[in-house]
Chains A and B, each alone.
Chain A
Amino acid sequence: MTTYIIRRLIQSLFVLLIVTIIVFLAMRLLPGDPILMMVTADALKEASEEHIAALRHEFGLDKPLFVQYANWLSGAVRGDLGKSILHGDSVTTEIVRRIPITFHLGAVAFLMSILIGIPAGIISAVRRGGWLDTGVTLLANLGITVPIFWLGILLVYLFALYLRWLPTFGYTSPFDNFWLSTRQVLMPIFCLSVFAIASGARQTRSSMLEVIQQDYIRTAWSKGLKERAVIFRHALKNALIPVVTLKGMTVSNIFGGSVLIETVFNIPGMGRLAVDGVVSQDYAIVQGVILVVATAVMLANLVVDLSYGWLDPRIRYG
């Protein structure tokens, strides 16, 4: 197990390194010159050749690409992600301010996907062919299909404009005004969790069905075990392995979904920041956001892989 963990950690570091190289190079592939962009943004200043050269030197852009990368990386590691090209604010400050918002929505959505998706999948598999199975399967198939931004708009129409039960958009911290905050996040969280719940239910159902056919489940039944023991102790733990893999991807999906949902509901989180950065071509912001998000997703996948050790003894002892 220790070798497994160590190997997996080294692997993650390596992947993280590739991620940083991709992010760095992607930004250098930009059609524009970051310095010229800055100068144009700073329109009042008359930019002479020397001025540009001086700026280029100040930001280290006259150095070889590798040195630039090393400088940028050492900054990023110390939490310095550069400055927004548009308004000159620190990217790190901006991101740190927005992380709690996206985390609030995302974490609840993730939790819902576990609390609803997995039980729904288990019930559906155990009662295969019954009306409950039919219902869960249909809902799950619709859930992986619906465009979440459209679902958000439908909900806004129904609950905010028509019934007037919930506010249309916006975000308030739960620590400032818990009731208002909860009312505001209900719809966004529902939209964010729909895909995760549905794909979780589908995955749980199909891997449960697979496991239930195995010999050791027949053995468990023939030993005269209760249904609960067979399902939860013998079947579920084995069926969970692919579900746990999926949960790692769910983290990534929820981040992706927050790009759309934070736009629909006008929530000032990380996703919204990324969209604003892309629209206003503020690539320092975009670079910072995707680096932070990719690191978070990678950490989630690391947790997933380590949890295999708990679920699958072949890894623990192998």
Chain B
Amino acid sequence: MSEENTLRTDLTEISPRVNEFRRFFRVFFSRGVVIFGMIVILALIITAILAPLIAPYNPYKPDFSQALLQPSKEHLLGTDALGRDTLSRIIFGTRTSLMIGVVAITIAALIGMTMGLIAGYFGGWMYAIIMRFIDAIMSFPMILLAMVIAALLGGGLRNVMIALGIALIPGYCRLMCGQVLSIKENDYVLAARTIGGNNFRIMIRHVVPNCLPPLIVLITMMMGMTILAEAGLSFLGVGIEAPGAAWGAMVNDGYLYLLTHPILSFAPGFAIMLVVFAFNMVGDGLRDALDPRLRGTL
């Protein structure tokens, strides 16, 4: 223990950055599940990009002569009621999940962080109004809120992304606000003000960059939650339109044939679980590596 400490102090004096990076990678990759998660996420991204090349069949074109086939060499996971290859639809479903996840989180993070920054930095009645508004949004269960917003906007992929984006705002806003509240007390913020920096400059140059690490963790962890919520919405029939492939909708379609063709529901659900698990584990790993103090708060 003491030997390790001396060694690390030496390293810090020579080149602190390398040490910090090495520490990050050592902690990040120290757990098997995190490595597993990284592999799954990489595979997911590659699958989404190369979907047309990987998928053995057209995922949208019905072929009633091939309807409801059991798994075989030609159709590894069988076919659905319209004769579409389940595996191909799962492969194309990666695009839906990933796109909705990324866009919804971008919307939520941009709006939420801006609101949190304003509330935390200016305080006072700005803080009171923004935070009470966030409290109000938080009293709606996320999936219910997203479902209602998506329906009000008229459904469709784009509106699901907006709806999830709005429903996810509170997490980012609250975390950002908390970060800003503690960071704005730092001496370097005071120093920036002393040399005449205006509020906007201080916020962008000094406060925001120092707030980011826990928010990066939150973004990764939210990816899993968002994909899960999207799956729930498409399971309920909100969102994706007819030929499109979404895992949640596939689970629901397969439910009708559960007795004879359980794989139709099982396979896409397993895909959801695998991907969400991967994002959750990588989020955990990132949290432990970036800032172990966040354990418990995130």
Contact = CB atoms under 8 A, between A and B. Distances in A.
Interface of A: 11, 14-16, 18-19, 22, 26-27, 29-31, 141-142, 144-147, 149-150, 153-154, 156-157, 161, 203, 206-207, 209-210, 242, 252-253, 255-257, 259-260, 263-264, 271, 274-275, 278-279, 281, 286, 289-290, 293-295, 297-298, 301
B236 A290 contact: no
A98 B175 CA distance: 36
21 contacts: A141-B284, A145-B277, A147-B228, A147-B231, A147-B269, A147-B272, A149-B232, A149-B252, A150-B272, A153-B266, A154-B266, A157-B265, A157-B266, A252-B139, A256-B141, A259-B141, A260-B236, A275-B236, A294-B136, A297-B138, A301-B135
Nearest to A210: B296
A279 B238 CA distance: 8
B280 interface: yes
A238 to B, nearest CB: 12
B144 A207 contact: no
B231 to A, nearest CB: 5
Contact of A153 (B135, B231, B258, B284): B258
B147 A259 contact: yes
B277 A15 contact: no
A150 to B, nearest CB: 3
Interface string B210-251: 000000000000001000100110011110000000001001
B152 A30 contact: yes
A301 B139 contact: yes
Given A150-B269, A263-B235, 15 more contacts: A18-B132, A19-B139, A141-B281, A141-B284, A147-B269, A150-B273, A153-B255, A153-B266, A154-B266, A206-B295, A252-B138, A259-B141, A278-B148, A289-B144, A298-B139
A11 B144 contact: no
B138 A203 contact: no
Contacts of A156: 258
Given A153-B258, A156-B258, A209 B143 contact: no
Contacts of A14: 132
Contacts, number: 147
Contact of B142 (A19, A209, A256, A295): A256
A297 B232 CA distance: 20
Contacts of A206: 295-296
Contacts of B281: 141
A166 B168 CA distance: 37
Contact of A147 (B147, B273, B284): B273
Given A153-B269, A206-B295, A294 B135 contact: no
Nearest to A263: B236
A18 B141 contact: no
A29 B152 contact: yes
Contacts of B33: 141
Contacts of B148: 26, 274, 278, 286, 290
B262 interface: yes
Interface string B123-145: 00000000011011111111111
Contacts of A242: 296-297
